[in-house]
Structure 1
Amino acid sequence: MIYLLLSIAASTGIFILFKLFNTYRINTLQAIVVNYLTACLFGLWIYDEPIVIKDIIRSEWIYGAVGLGFLFIAVFNIMALTAQRNGLSVASVAAKMSVIIPVIFGIYVYNEGVGFQKISGIILALVAVYLASVKPKTSDNITKGLWLPLLLFIGTGVIDTSIKYVETTYLPENGIPIFSATIFSFAFCIGAILLCIKSTKSLEKFQLKTVLGGAVLGIINYFSIYYLLKALNHENLESSTLFTINNVAIVMVSTLLGVYLFKEKISKMNWIGIALAIISIVIVTLA
């Protein structure tokens, strides 16, 4: 359970940092690229076994790491665009309602337990995520530019599902640190190529605040994946239960931190969502 709590804390930190990037006018794409370089180097640094490139290339999980690298850089940018164009609440709803994708996958593929209590908890969790995230001022914008939230919804769900599948099917017991670092290395390479292409149109210098912000994001991002994988590796917690608790808790904590740290206004609907989130976590956990 401690790994799940740490994953929730790290994932919440990512949303907070994206909000701070907008506040301090930090170039999002540049920070994301620095983030993946930092996450990769940090993962290699804490890996306590010899790093053999040939073994990594020949590993069964290498193709999964390449695919996730593409998804990571794409979804992170979509998340930033959604927050900027549609609002932070819409981005949060789209990202966290995607929990339904890995939950259905876990039940269907791994024959995880399903009953009235778990289904009720999952449905209640989806309602809670929406109510806790939506803001009155932005609720009218949900119907505008639906393609970005839709892509974020699908992309986040596919990432969570793919991580679970690779971890279950191909990853050795001690392979989580090097697997995470490899994903981040591919994401960095793809991001660096995008920056090079973008620089041919308009050259933007790296500012110190962008490098520092990206470095902090990278460390937090690494641990969000690392601890999620560690939690998924726990035999007594089904992935459908874990993803439900993880995503609902992130929205709940993010909403509360938005109130206390950024003085965001929270409506009665948001408070109802937070209460339902707590109830759904209890229902799914007990199921």
Structure 2
Amino acid sequence: MHNLILAIFCSVAVSVLLKVARKKNIIIEQAIAFNYIVAITLSYFLLKPDFKGLAFTDFIAQSEHSPIFLALGLLLPSVFIIMSKAVEFAGIVRSDAAQRLSLFLPILAAFLIFHETLSQSKIVGIFFAFIGLFCLLTKPNQGQSAVNFKGILGLIGVWFGYGIIDILFKQVAKSGGAFPATLFISFSLAACVMFIYLVLKRTQWTVPSFLGGVLLGILNFFNILFYIKAHQSFGSNPTLVFAGMNIGVICLGTITGALIFKEKISKINGLGILFSLSAIFCLYYLDKFIL
């Protein structure tokens, strides 16, 4: 459970960094690009990926995990770009909701792809998890206008993209000792995609963005690492990790927003925290006790 808790803390720290980035003259797109360079470096020195004596390109071509790291390498930066467009055309509240409600896809995959056993306590826990998410995502009237077609496409892309990434990270966790190489290659491909995107945009590079990217890379790397380790710890209970990560991040994010940024927690948000804690109890403690 400690790996999941650490992943949640790192993820919220990433959100806090992105929230204050604009005030620190950090261009988020550049920070994301530099973040992948840091993630590549940490993967190499801390995880020591084993390429089985093959050249980098040969390993990519011959590895049985090629579909996973190719998909992650493309999706990680692409979903970020899609998220930025969704925020532009549909608003940050709707985009954040689409990201969190993508939980539906990995939970569905937990039973259809990863063959998790569906117990009564898990059904109740999943039910509580979604109620908690809806309550936590409920905000005061933001005065938002109707979503146009581009906004709808962006929200669908966010929902689908983040859901698929969660499923792919579970697949990375299942690769066992091969996961360091898979992560290293995924980050390498993601860096290539992001830098190509920025070069095509003719971006003007800045020092604050580089420094922000270094910090972002450290937090994001450990967020992903602990998330994968949590999946390895709860190999037969992916629902707990999928749901725990999503509701844990938004619960801690809500509390952090109130304490640091003086954001108001409404009564329905507080109710959402209670439902979310109940979901964790059902998915982990109650299910464990019944078994």
TM-score by length of 2: 0.88
Match of 2:129 among 125, 128, 134: 125
Cα distance in 2 for partners of 1:86, 1:42 equals 35
Answering whether residue 43 of structure 2 is matched by residue 40 of structure 1, we say no
Residue aligning to 1:266: 265
* Code of the aligned partner of 1:174: G
Answering whether residue 194 of structure 2 is matched by residue 191 of structure 1, we say yes
CA RMSD of aligned residues (A): 2.2
* Code of the aligned partner of 2:217: G
Q: Deviation digits for residues 217-264 of structure 1, max 9, x if unmatched? A: 111111111111111112565111211111111110011101111111
Post-superposition offset of 1:87:
4.3
Answering whether residue 109 of structure 2 is matched by residue 105 of structure 1, we say yes
Residue aligning to 1:178: 181
Residue aligning to 2:158: 152
Q: Name the SS of the counterpart of 2:134 in structure 1.
A: helix
Q: Deviation digits for residues 88-112 of structure 1, max 9, x if unmatched? A: 4333322121112111111112321
Contact 1:92 1:251 in 2 (8 A): no
* Code of the aligned partner of 2:281: V
Contact 1:132 1:270 in 2 (8 A): yes
Cα distance in 1 for partners of 2:153, 2:12 equals 24
Contact 1:18 1:80 in 2 (8 A): no
Match of 2:72 among 55, 63, 68: 68
Answering whether residue 20 of structure 2 is matched by residue 14 of structure 1, we say no
Contact 1:90 1:142 in 2 (8 A): no
Aligned-pair identity (%): 28
Cα distance in 2 for partners of 1:120, 1:143 equals 33
Count of residue pairs brought into register by the alignment: 280
Cα distance in 2 for partners of 1:121, 1:94 equals 20
Post-superposition offset of 1:32:
1.0
Cα distance in 2 for partners of 1:154, 1:106 equals 16
* Code of the aligned partner of 2:37: L
Contact 2:33 2:213 in 1 (8 A): yes
TM-score by length of 1: 0.89
Structure 1 unaligned spans of 5+: none
For residues 43-62 of structure 1, the aligned pairs below 5 Å read 43-48=43-48, 52-54=53-55, 56-57=59-60, 58-62=62-66
Deviates more, 1:83-92 or 1:143-152: 83-92
For residues 79-98 of structure 1, the aligned pairs below 5 Å read 79-83=83-87, 86-98=90-102
Q: Deviation digits for residues 27-58 of structure 1, max 9, x if unmatched? A: 12111111111111121121346665527323
Deviates more, 1:215-224 or 1:83-92: 83-92
* Code of the aligned partner of 1:11: S
Q: Deviation digits for residues 111-134 of structure 1, max 9, x if unmatched? A: 211133212221221121121123
Contact 1:17 1:217 in 2 (8 A): yes
Residue aligning to 2:249: 250
Contact 2:129 2:247 in 1 (8 A): yes
